[in-house]
Structure 1
Amino acid sequence: MKNQVSIQGKFQYRLSGWKYSAMVRFLLFLVLSILFYVSLMSKIIPPTYDIQLGAVAEKDILAPRAIENAVATEQAKEEAAQHVQLVYKITSLKNEVLMESMFEKLLQINADSEVTLGDKVNIFKTVLPNLVLDHADKQIKGFSDSGQYNEPLLQEMGKKIREQQYRIPEETYYKMPRLSKEDLTAMEPVAKEIVTRLMNDQILDAQTVRAKVPELVNASTLTKSTTREIVQELVRAAITPNKFFDQKGTEEAKGHARDNVKPVFINKNEILVKKGDTITDEMYQRLSGLELLKDQSSNWPKIGLLLIVVMLSLVIFIFVKQSRLSVSHNNAQLLMLVLIVLINIFGMKLFSLVQNLDYPYIGFLAPTALGAMLITILLDMNLAFIAAVLFSVLASIIFNTDHLQPFDFRYGLFTLAASFAAIFSIQRASQRSSILKAGMIVALFGMALVASLLLIEDHSSKKEMLFALSFTVGGGLLTAVFVIGLLPFFEVAFGILSPLKLVELSNPNHPLLRKLLTETPGTYHHSVMVGNLAEAAAESIGADGLLCRVGAYYHDIGKTKRPIYFIENQTNMENPHDKMDPALSKSIIVAHARDGVEMLKEYHLPKPIRDIAEQHHGTTLLQFFYHKAKKLSEAEGDDKPIEESDYRYPGPKAQSKEAAIVGIADCVEAAVRSLRNPTLEQIDTMVRKIIKNRLDDGQFNECDLTIKELDQVAKTLNETLHGIFHSRIEYPSDLQAQAHSQTSGMKRE
């Protein structure tokens, strides 16, 4: 029943929202068709003109004299306003007074011997956060009474202070009642000094400043680890932003900027009426002396263009529908495809505007291979080939200067060759510099094709050939530049993890990986090993191995918040879980997945990486602490049963093959590492046991891993582990003797 609910929830999830809406899908293909039609309309359909009052101008009309352009003037005012820097106000919130209040409460409550330990903890949980808010409200009220700041700014202060309020960890509250009066007396001046020092800076983001607290506390005179820890948390709670956005001040500055803008004039012979503008009475009076021809055009060219557009759209529709790509059901990726097509067509149209008889080959400067390169990197190589053919058809029409024929095969052939060269050269790119190399290859292929075409025509001058070849080189470089510039936009806007982005995220110099290495070297080594295992396993079943490897690097980043509570980081020290309640231990261990997701969000890592960090444990059971809790309950004679669900990870279960594989590799690596001198049989048994347990526990119910794929994953993990642990595997006695004999013989020789 549980599995059925999970499957049903997954089905509803996939069908809900615009990303999987059939109507949205239809509209996107309609937009694509309209885009094709509009981009080709000016080249296929003969222009008509109807200059009448209330009509729409179908061509640019030049101004006979200098005229003020009210629209441009207003636009200039808006641009001036947009360039105004945001206004911020720095306030003095006197948080050292807040620190005094905190310690007064600590002394007062700890001194009351009639209050139990548990009640003190509950009091601290309520009183300390309220002290922060009460202090902030008091300061803001004082500012309001003095009239020092405007009301929107005061509201912004209250909002930001509440949004960035620090949440003291649960375990810290349990340590506070054990503080003696001497401890609090020693802690207070240290805490006040640190708060005063930090609050002297301009603080827009309190979290950034709170990161400096541990270093300052460790450099203080406090010697006890408990007092240092509690001071650290209290100081973090007392740190609030003191730099706030002033909406009213910003609007006033923008108003001054608008007032200082001078009127914009349209000079003589500049555009007075743009194509598409409605002819107003004022325009009509100005244009009354202009004679324009009104003609009824034939509808046959429109019908012909419509048929071309339908065929182009059908090519994409049929390919996408029959493919197994995610774009076949994910409207977000279809939208990205439409945007790429739009950008590529826009680039071609832009260069076609400056194409004339003096520079007939300027169309070779257009980055026509831009779309094919982006589709290869972000979507799929085969789809890029289909798009390249479509772009070649569009280019042959858009860059056609011979109105006797609707197509110019030279630009179509050039676009096709350049796009194919781009696809072949970029398909396995793993660095941003590879895009520039691909651009050079596009330029070389384009030069060879253009040179051959001009030689075949045999009537181009050396100057024309030089211009054409120069434009071709420029087009290849422009293609690379635009791809490099647009790629981050698509990666961020659509959550795309391209191979280039994944390679960048795998760099050890990334702040999070550097933090993992320096603060938790044991976890870092574990993550690297998991990455190697997960990548090999994923590639063996056709999943994204690079995503698995990079996701594994970050999957345990949450352990950096409490590193000593995890076994791989406990070197030459006592395990703190030995003296802790199993429920508290479970909360700490489980929290690393949630903490990891929060850290990854803070550093803006893509969602697939965050999903792996969140889902790699699924809803598995923490067996050690579960059984420990049961034993303690039995020993204490507690009749209340220990629920297994209380000792499981909160999930969700793995939603993708990659998340499931990282979870398996994580468990396998930790389990095999715990074995002393593992044998081949032990490794094989351990790997298959872990996979079977997870399968029986329903951890793969929400991802599309098959039994056959799980078997292949097990085989690959075994092969990889055999290579990693080969030097640690003990030989059987007969092989040991044989190996010793061969070694002795080699030494004698």
Structure 2
Amino acid sequence: MTSKEPSTRNLLDSMIAGWKNSRMTRYGMFALLFVVLYVSLAPNLLPQRFDIQVGTVSDSDIIAPMQIPNNKTTLQAQEAAAEQVESVYAIVSMRRETVISQMLDRIESLNQDDQITNADKAQIYSEEIPQRAQNSIANFIRNNREAGKYSDKMLDEMQKTIGEQTYSIPEETFLKIPRLSTSEIQDMRQVATSIMSRLMSDQITDAQSARAKVAELVSTSSLSSRTAREVVQELVRATLTANKFYDEEATRAAKVEARENTPTVYIQQGEVLVPKGEKITQEMYTLLDENDLLKNDVNYWPQLGLVLFAFLITLGLYMYLRQSIHQGRTYNNAQLFMLIVIFAIGVICLHLVRILQMGNSPYFGFLVPAAIVVMLITLLLDIQLAYISSIIMSILASIILNMSQHELFDYQFGFFTLVVSFTAIQCIHRASQRSTILKAGIMSCFFGAIAVLTLVLLNDGEWTRISMMYAVGFACIGGLITTVLVLGLMPFFETTFGILSALKLVELSNPNHPLLRKLLIETPGTYHHSVMVGNLSEAAAEAIGADGLLCRVGSYYHDIGKTKRPGYFIENQNNIGNPHDSIDPKLSKSIIIAHARDGVEMQKEYKLPKPIRDIAEQHHGTTFLHYFYHKALKLAEEQEIEPDFTENDFRYPGPKAQTKEAAVVGIADSVEAAVRSLSKPTVEQVETMIEKIIKGRVDDNQFNECDLTMKELDVVARTLKEAVMGIFHSRIEYPEDIKKPDQKENKA
């Protein structure tokens, strides 16, 4: 049973590794991404079409697949708004006191002429005074028509109104005028112009109502002569005209403006257009036809356009991931599937907000947790991939949250998503604590609000103060929702996909973790060794572009299995004898190689992530235990028996290092132990020892199953040398120290 377990486990690991790196599976993942994009955009770019005819009965509820304008209801609302517009009147400024003053000048002049009889004068006045009043109006209209100050229709309306309201002076008044003296005429001038100016300062649409006030104003004037009062009264009435006239063109323009300002009436997405069992009317048929929702003509062009659109986005992401391989970044199929799941979550969030948006107002779109996708990708995958994903999500947001029937994209939501996403990436890409996610959410709120305010200022006049406040508020709420969702989804992705995020690694590096506490208390020597290996491996891993944090934390746990038999490992043998000196070398071998397996079992018990367990299991690979093998050979020789074992029996069971991180930890582990074994190491000894360790593992084919290159091994060797010198500075003798022993104490 025991012999079958490793083979079964290796087969299972091989199948999993094959799935993660299968090319066909990879293509299938991109096909799945294409489907996700197509399905998520289809409701917005390919609205549902109905196969109905006028007069038929609907066999199901016909529901609006999107927001569509109701042209008939909108037209009715526009006409109602136009009918509520009051008639527009124009105020025309006319100097009628000048006209009456000119009349009195003529009267004064003619009355002084003794050659003309009063009867003739009366006849002249009866002809000239009405004519002067009419001519003054005609001249005013002609001059303004030439100047273009008022429209022709307005001037025609003015001429018509004044003509209909003309006042006729009684004949007996003309008989009284010749008897007026010059002094009386002078008094009449002042009173007449004053009364005319006062009356014409009001807005007059009906001259007759204004003329009714003349008698009272004249009676309270300074004129004492009865004849003078009667003449002034009649002259003012004859000269007085309306000054407020109906403006047909202005009224028509006001009605047009009222129609234009009437908002379009929409049928919201999800509303029932025709209930089941109801007959299709011509009105409903026309509504669907106007919005291209009928299956009268089969049109496959939009479907083809959407296919090409989703294909181009998928192809762009594929090319980026392919190019990233040349830059040292690789993504397996499990990570690609996780990326698709993250995109799907982002799309679902967009559609949920779209539902709220349709039932309320466009600014509800800013409630979307826009940065959720890029935050998860930054934390779980890669920052460069997060930037590419932010562009894709901006495109999707501008389509899904677009409420315009005539535009494919709404740049406002695309811009908002891009700003929030870039902000979140910058705030979270060096996250070492989960509180960083909250800080990133707060910064997303702040910059999201700035983005919304920017859009409001650019669209001056289209936003009210209330809608602006709602939009900014929703942007802030969306940032907080993003934080909550990311914090909630992180454990799911870490557990389901075996992702070890930087946040999780930092948590595992806490010395208060039960396993690390156990390691420190029970095996302090191993604990110190693990910390040293962590420092060395982190520096080496970062030098070749591997995950330095994973190496450091993996190093902390890589020898946790030694806690089961701490006294059998040299770093824990303080002032006690070595128990291996008194036991069979085969038993010693079994105890030594068991620590890797025991460590994996202990880590499983505490549910440590698989990458950490892999380092513990693989850091020794299938290396050879030279010391115990030769000890066993010597013992067999002394007992003069034939050895019943081979070199393979004194090797670790493996597996060999599958990742760069496991390989680097294995090298650092050997280097730290080797340097610690030297009493007074020199620089030359350190260099030689590191090169020997790496060469030995290369010759033993320990790196054949990971993608560690010879060039990277040279970098690892150089980095480890520098790190060892920094850590063990006080113990390493430099060449000049050897030459000048008397200065050794000062050097240290």
Same fold (TM over 0.5): yes
Match of 2:742 in 1: 737
The aligned runs of 1:273-422 (5 Å cut-off) are 287-289=276-278, 291=280, 295-296=294-295, 298-324=299-325, 330-356=332-358, 358-422=360-424
Query: Partner amino acid for 2:740?
Result: L
Q: Structure 1's 17 and 660: CA in aligned 2 closer, same or farther, altered over 3 A? A: closer
Cα distance in structure 2, aligned partners of 1:687 and 1:314: 45
The equivalent of 1:46 in structure 2 is 47
Deviations 1:600-632 (A, max 9, x none): 122222221111111111111112211111111
Question: Out of 507, 510, 524, which is 2:510 matched to?
Answer: 507
Once residues 740 and 676 of structure 1 are traced to their aligned partners in structure 2, the CA distance between those partners, rounded to angstroms, is 16
The structure with the largest alpha-carbon Rg is 2
Check conservation: 1:15, 1:21, Cα contact below 8 A: no
Match of 2:688 in 1: 685
Counterpart position of 2:669: 666
> What secondary structure sits across from 2:436 in the alignment?
helix
d(CA) in 1 for partners of 2:302 and 2:488? Answer: 38
Residue equivalent to 2:572: 569
How many correspondences in the alignment?
A: 515
Distance 1:661 1:405, change over 3 A: same
Structure 1 residue matching 2:357: 3-state secondary structure: coil
Structure 1 Cα separation of the partners of residues 349 and 640 of structure 2 = 77
Q: Deviations over 1:513-541 (max 9, x none)?
A: 11111111111111000101111111112
Identify if the C-alpha distance between structure 1 residues 602 and 733 changes in structure 2 by more than 3 Å, giving closer, same or farther: closer
Structure 2 residue 619 is the aligned partner of structure 1 residue 616:
yes
Give 1:219-618 correspondences, 5 Å limit.
Answer: 287-289=276-278, 291=280, 295-296=294-295, 298-324=299-325, 330-356=332-358, 358-459=360-461, 460-618=463-621
Distance 1:541 1:741, change over 3 A: closer
Map 1:94-105 onto structure 2 (within 5 A).
none
Kept in 2, the 8 Å contact 1:582–1:629? The answer is yes
Is this contact kept in 2: 1:368–1:415, CA < 8 A?
A: yes
Conserved in 1, the CA contact under 8 Å of 2:58 and 2:278? no
In 2 relative to 1, CA 18–644 (structure 1 residues): closer, same or farther, beyond 3 Å? Answer: closer
1:128-169 Cα distance to aligned partner (Å, 9 max, x none): xxxxxxxxxxxxxxxxxxxxxxxxxxxxxxxxxxxxxxxxxx
Hey, what does 1:32 align to over in structure 2? 33
Q: Residues 712-723 of structure 1 correspond to what in structure 2 (within 5 A)?
A: 712-723=715-726
Instruction: For residue 443 of structure 2, give the secondary structure of its aligned residue in structure 1.
Output: helix
Tell me, yes or no, if the aligned pair for 2:659 and 2:707 is still in contact at 8 Å.
yes
Aligned to 2:63: 59
- Give the superposition deviation at 1:34: 2.2
In the alignment, which residue of structure 2 is the partner of 1:638?
641
Write out per-residue CA displacement over residues 637-661 of structure 1, whole angstroms, 9 at most, x where no aligned residue.
Answer: 1123542111111111111111111
Counterparts of 2:385 and 2:408 in 1: how far apart (Å)?
26
Helix, strand or coil at the partner of 1:323: helix
CA contact (8 A) 1:327 1:333 kept: no
For residue 394 of structure 1, what is the amino acid of its counterpart?
L
How much has 1:493 moved relative to structure 2?
0.9
Task: Name whichever of 665-674 and 566-575 sits farther off.
Answer: 566-575
Counterparts in 2 of 1:711 and 1:313: CA distance versus 1, 3 Å: closer
8 Å CA contact 2:365–2:413 kept in 1: the answer is yes
Instruction: Return the letter of the residue paired with 2:340.
Output: V
Distance 1:328 1:572, change over 3 A: closer
- TM-score normalised by L of structure 1: 0.64
SS at match of 1:655: coil
- CA RMSD across the alignment: 3.0
One-letter code aligned to 2:357: Q
Q: Work out the percentage of aligned pairs sharing the same amino acid.
A: 56
Give the deviation of 1:742 after TM superposition.
Answer: 10
Partner-residue secondary structure (3-state), 1:728: coil
Q: Within 1, Cα distance between the matches of 2:310 and 2:659?
A: 37
Distance in 2 (alpha carbons) for counterparts of 1:536 and 1:393: 40
Q: Unpaired segments of 5 or more residues in structure 1? A: 1-8, 62-273, 278-283, 744-749
One-letter amino acid of the structure 1 residue matched with residue 527 of structure 2: Y
On the 8 A contact 2:378/2:428 being kept in 1, the answer is yes
Amino acid in the other structure paired with 2:688: T
Instruction: State the alpha-carbon separation in 1 of the partners of residues 504 and 746 from structure 2.
Output: 52
Structure 2, unaligned runs of 5 or more: 1-9, 66-268, 289-293
Distance 2:529 2:746 in 1: 36
TM-score of the two chains, using structure 2 as the length reference: 0.64
Q: Distance in 2 between matches of 1:412 and 1:649?
A: 56
Q: Deviation per CA, 1:464-523, whole angstroms, max 9, x where unpaired?
A: 111111111111111122111111111111111121111111111111111111111111
Q: Distance in 2 between matches of 1:358 and 1:642?
A: 80
Any conservation in 2 of the 1:40–1:398 contact (CA below 8 Å)? Answer: yes
